[in-house]
Amino acid sequence: MSSRLFQHDITFQAGTRTYGRLRSIGWLDSAARVSLIGCVWLCLSLVFSQAVANRYSRQQTPEGFRKAIHWEPWNPDHYAGLARALERPLKEGDLLEVVRLYEKAVQLSPHNAIYWARLGQAYEWAGRLEDAQNAHEQAMFLSPSSPTVNWTIGNFYLREGKTKLALHAFQRTVLGDPEMGGPAFDLAWRATGDGELIAREMIPADTDIYFEYLNYLVGTERQDEAEKVWDRVVELGLHFEPTQAFPYLDALIQHRRIDQLTAAWSALRKKNPSISGGLHASLAGFSTAVEPAPEKQEGALDANLVTNGDFESGILNGGLDWRINPAPGVIIGMDNSIFRDGTHSLQIRFEGTQNLSDALVFQYVPVRPNTSYRFAAFMRAQGITTDSGPRFQIRDADDPAKLFVQSGDVVGDSTWVRRQLDFISGPSTRLLEIRVVRLASSKFDNRIAGTAWVDQVEMKAIESAAATNLARGEVHTAAR
Amino acid sequence: MYTRRWAVITLVVLLSAAVDAKPVPIGTVSSCKAATIHGTNLVPGTTIFSGDTIHVGAQGNVWIAVEGGGQVQVPENSTVVLTKSPDSTRVTVDRGQAQMNSKGVVINSVSLEDIRSQVGAKVDLDKHKDTDRDKDRDCEVSKDSRRIRPCRDDID
């Protein structure tokens, strides 16, 4: 009996405990449900307010940003956006609000360097220069390589007269964003006007930036400074592609700085041994790589002055290499199936659609004044129509009236024929153009078709005695 | 004797001052689009110095925050030169128009005399209506700026 009572007692106690446990579970369940609903509601309201705020901020108006702040007051972007919107135009009464908004933005997002940089700008407009400097330096501390931050602080330093610090900041700007090169170089020049200072303090030993700066100097007609920068590029031994130097070389050609052109080309060839021919050492006193032995010519003093005259290298289309003059109705390229020497020649294919009357291919060649030269080249033709085929021309690059010689043309079908022109450069001639041209035909059937090949183009200085019978600019030999 | 000595000293002082003369900052570009300065693309934050010429192309716009408060707006198809005088910033409108919202800025033109320079004034010069000439001006820029790209609002 007593044992049954005891058993009942135990059962009662267990039931009470189970009931209590069930009650607790019920409360917990309710609490969990409420919490879940609360969380879902909170998330939904956050998403909703964010969506509404974003919608307003996308308007990019002060009113829009104000509404965005109302819906999402914890987002620093809206404060910065409102400040930015108030800056344009910045009314006199708005400056304090702009400062306050950026201060709020950096308070909410103290690790955002851009906000600090803009706060620094706003402080400066408000005349709080010390605060401005602190804000800019905080921005620099947070993001030392950011182009925007460096650009902003660089400009600040410039206005404060701290030129070297400004140039160092611009260097970091350009390193971070090469597209900022133009604005940064221009600003540095407007602020200092000192090319040496800029080159020393601002231009890093980076090939692309050096050439960007070189192109800027060439574009702004600062030729003397460009030459100094080029010398520095050579001195530093930077690796670069020949095409990167072409704007500078073109500027030297344009300004007829022939000695500098010759020196620059020699330096370029030293760095790129694949550029063949065109030994201009004797013109500027530069020593260059050893050339492949040219054909022996009677009275020849120098090696071949023509670059890539055998067309064994690709056409660079710039500098002192060949340049193709694009024109409709003609296709110009290298040919490795028909050649006179080596493994390549230049192929000129006329499509029969145009009465061409211009240079097809040309090359600048620096020369000495009052010097005798012999030009020789081979040309081959296949099915060249009309009465005017391709021919060679040599003329003074400045003024063709000072020197102009041309060979006979090649028409119909022919094997390799040699064309030779002997001439004496004029007293002021420093730069020649060697051209392959086709003169316009005056006949009814004047649209040229067929293919011509050019190979083994050479030009060498010869002894005066070998050309005593030459009149200046006279065509000496143009045999078919 | 003394007169000559003083004249020499004055000349030396003037010459050294001229040699040391640094460009005077006028303000900062706070916002810009399709604009160039001396042929180079303008970007926000650029410092403008006295004597700088700003050219704004079609669909462009520039806001310049000038020192001492206030802003100058240069709208599209306009060319202005900004100079600093002792008491104000002078905006010379060579082409198009310019607006400002500060008493410290004076806007004038190259040739027109009836220029208003009070706060909120707007100067509109339609004297250069020759669009061909405008096109030529657009071409008179450096190689760098020939790679036409819009003036970015931010450089990052």
User: Among A41-55, A107-121, A344-358, A444-458, which stretch is predicted with the lowest mean pLDDT?
Assistant: A41-55
Ranges A9-13, A102-106, A239-243, B144-148, most confident = A102-106
Q: Does residue B7 lie within any of the structural domains?
A: no
In this prediction, residues B73-87 reach a mean pLDDT of 90
ipTM of the complex: 0.72
Q: Which of A53-62, A103-112, A288-297, B119-128 is least confident?
A: A288-297
Whether residue A244 lies within 8 A of chain B, CB to CB, comes out as no
Quick one: pLDDT at residue A400?
A: 92
Q: Which of A239-243, A417-421, A440-444 has the highest mean pLDDT?
A: A417-421
pLDDT score of A300 more than 60: no
Interchain CB distance below 8 Å, B31 and A88: yes
Within a domain: residue B156? Answer: no
**Per-residue pLDDT tens over the stretch A396-408:** 999 999 999 999 9
| Cα within 13 Å of Cα(A425), Cβ side | 26
CB distance B25–A190 less than 8 Å?
no
What confidence tens digit (pLDDT) does each residue in A166-210 have? 999 999 999 999 999 999 999 999 999 999 999 999 999 999 999
Please name which of A386, A384, A378 lies closest in space to residue A480, comparing C-alpha atoms.
A378
Single out the residue of A286, A282, A277 nearest to residue A367, CA to CA: A282
Q: Residues A72-84: pLDDT tens digits?
A: 999 999 999 999 8
B3 is a domain residue: no
Please report the pLDDT score of residue A369 as a whole number.
Answer: 94
Distance from CA of A187 to the nearest CA of B (A): 7
Residue-range definition of the domain harbouring residue B75: 25-146
Examine residue B137 and state whether it is found in any structural domain, yes or no: yes
Q: What is the per-residue pLDDT for B111?
A: 45
Q: Calculate how close chain B gets to A175, using CA atoms only, in Å.
A: 12
pLDDT at A287 over 80: no
Task: Assess contact for B123 and B116: CB atoms under 8 A.
Answer: yes
Identify the pLDDT of residue A339: 94
In a domain, B65, yes or no: yes
At A68, is the secondary structure helix, strand, or coil?
A: helix
Asked whether residue B1 is domain-assigned, the answer is: no
282-301 in A: which are within 8 Å (CB) of B? none
Tell me: pLDDT of A273 over 60. Answer: yes
Which of A90, A173, A183 lies closest to B65 in CB terms?
Answer: A90
Calculate ∠ Cα A267-A270-A274, nearest 5°: 125
Using CA atoms in the order A448, A451, A455, A457, what is the torsion angle rounded to 10 degrees?
0
Q: Would the CB atoms of B23 and A147 count as touching at under 8 Å? A: no
- Is the pLDDT score of A285 beyond 80? no
- Confidence label for A371 from pLDDT (cuts 50, 70 and 90): very high
Percent of all residues in chain A with a pLDDT value above 70, rounded to a whole number: 87
- Residue A186 is nearest to which of B30, B40, B149, comparing CB atoms? B40
The answer to whether residue B90 is domain-embedded is yes
User: How many angstroms separate the CA atoms of B80 and A38, rounded?
Assistant: 60
Give the pLDDT mean for A88-99: 80
Domains of chain A by start residue, with CATH: 54-224 (1.25.40.10), 323-467 (2.60.120.260)
Provide the whole-model pTM. 0.76
Count of the separate structural domains present in chain B: 1
- pLDDT of res. A307: 94
Helices (H) and strands (E) in chain A, counts: 15, 10
Q: Count interface pairs A-B at CB distance under 8 A.
A: 95
Contact B23 A159 (CB under 8 A): no
Among A206-210, A273-277, A409-413, the minimum mean pLDDT is found in: A273-277
Cβ contact A251:A223 at 8 Å: yes
Judge contact between A222 and A195, C-beta under 8 A: yes
Concatenate the DSSP letters of all residues of A161-227 into one string: T-HHHHHHHHHHHHHH-GGGHHHHHHHHHHHH--HHHHHHHT--S-HHHHHHHHHHHHHTT-HHHHH
Tell me which of A24-28, A135-139, A473-477 is least confident. Answer: A473-477
Task: Give the per-residue pLDDT at A247.
Answer: 96
In a 10 Å sphere around its CB, with 0-12 CB exposed, 13-18 middle and 19+ buried, how is residue A225 labelled? buried
Between B134 and A370, residue with greater pLDDT: A370
Q: What is the pLDDT of residue B119?
A: 40
Cα dist from B133 to A276, B75, B92, B130, B137, whole Å: 46, 18, 19, 5, 6
How high is the pLDDT of residue A282?
A: 42
Nearest-Cα residue of chain B relative to residue A213: B144
Question: Which of A45-54, A192-201, A214-223 is predicted with the least confidence, judged by mean pLDDT?
Answer: A45-54
pLDDT higher than threshold 90 for residue A16: no
pLDDT at A299 over 80: no
Residue B78, in any domain of the structure? yes
Instruction: Express each pLDDT in A106-151 by its tens digit.
Output: 999 999 999 999 999 999 988 899 999 999 999 999 999 999 999 9
Q: Could you tell me the pLDDT band of residue B75, with boundaries at 50, 70 and 90?
A: very high
Q: A374 with A396: CB under 8 angstroms?
A: no
Q: What is the mean pLDDT of chain B?
A: 70
Q: How confident is the model at residue A14 (pLDDT cuts 50, 70, 90)?
A: low
Neighbours of B21 (CB within 10 A): 9
> What integer is the mean pLDDT of B99-118?
61
